[in-house]
Amino acid sequence: MTTYWCPVPDDPDRVFPLTRPQAPNAAPVADRAMPRAAVPEPVRSRLAHPPAEFAGLSLGRPRIMGIVNVTPDSFSDGGDAFATADAIARGRALRAAGADILDVGGESTRPGADPVPVAEELRRVVPVVGALAAEGALVSIDTRRAEVMAAAIAAGARMINDVTALSGDPASPRAAADSGLPLVLMHMLGQPRTMQRAPSYACAPLDIYDYLENRLAGCERMGIPRARICVDPGIGFGKTVVHNLQCLRWIGLYHSLGCPVMLGASRKSFIGRLTGETRAKAREPGSLAAALWAVRSGVHLLRVHDVAETVQAVAVYRSIAAGEPA
């Protein structure tokens, strides 16, 4: 039986051993916490020496990725910044509010979304990436397509964020490898159009761990070292409310992969289902709760819509935890 390892929040020298449950869709079975020194290699070394930097940013504190959706149909803010000038203005505002990274995307991946033609995706994102990069912003291109990756990189993008973990386009692994840029690999079950139709797992957190480990191994075979990769469990992408909660509860598990970990839970529908809030833009409190749980669990990057609010919440949380301004 395979054992997985999850650091204890607030006590990284101790870990929970996790094993698979007998019933499908159930949470991992957690045994009593044990010293990290008892964990087998290579996981022990990965946990003992967490990533110190990513994309040129120190990971001494959580980093904030601000969302710039150049789309008419994203689940939360579709249409708010669809015009090029509006998207550039949103990026500037998020950067001024404290975003360390601006994630520019031109294709909605909300549940039920249809694919966007490549030419249209390029038309949406390239001028926005170029304008923000020219002002010195660290811009990430949120795409699954090699052609869009290449055009955005030529325009100044310095990071790739792929919701398909480089599986959505046969050319994307080589494009990512040749770019030399840092990238985010996210888990998604199926495709946006169908991913929320009765998603099922043997054990969501552990199945996602295995998937990401497999994608990391594939990247390494392409010459992309783990030091260039961040992983994201993909909250809301082919997951029920319970699956999402299980992944959040055990999000520290993904530190065992030896990469930075990112969380994208901002305004997601599971918050609405837990609280009854149907308006995506009114889910900021729930988004902050998820973000602070992630910070407590050692997550390195937070992908959010509400940057100023997240920056403030994280600063106060970290100061309380340290007993002094952080």
Sign of CA dihedral 290, 296, 297, 302: positive
Shortest CA distance to 185 belongs to which of 202, 200, 205, 165? Answer: 165
Structure tokens given for 278 = 């149907």
Contact between residue 237 and residue 187 where contact means Cβ atoms under 8 Å apart:
yes
Active-site residue flag, 303: yes
Contact between residue 18 and residue 30 where contact means Cβ atoms under 8 Å apart:
yes
Sign of CA dihedral 218, 60, 309, 153: negative
Torsion angle of the four alpha carbons 225, 227, 232, 238, in this order, in degrees rounded to the nearest 10 = 0
Q: Which residue of the set 110, 158, 239, 303 is catalytic? A: 303
Q: ω into residue 17 within 30 of 0, thus cis?
A: no
Q: Which residue of the set 90, 110, 267, 268 is catalytic? A: 268
Shortest CA distance to 177 belongs to which of 121, 222, 141? Answer: 222
The helix (run of H) or strand (run of E) holding residue 119 is: helix 118-134
Active-site residue flag, 221: no
Contact between residue 303 and residue 69 where contact means Cβ atoms under 8 Å apart:
no
| Integer Cα distance of 287 and 301 in angstroms | 14
Residue burial 168-179, b: 16+ Cβ < 10 Å; e: rest: bbeebbebbbeb
**Residues annotated as catalytic (active site), given as ranges:** 268, 303
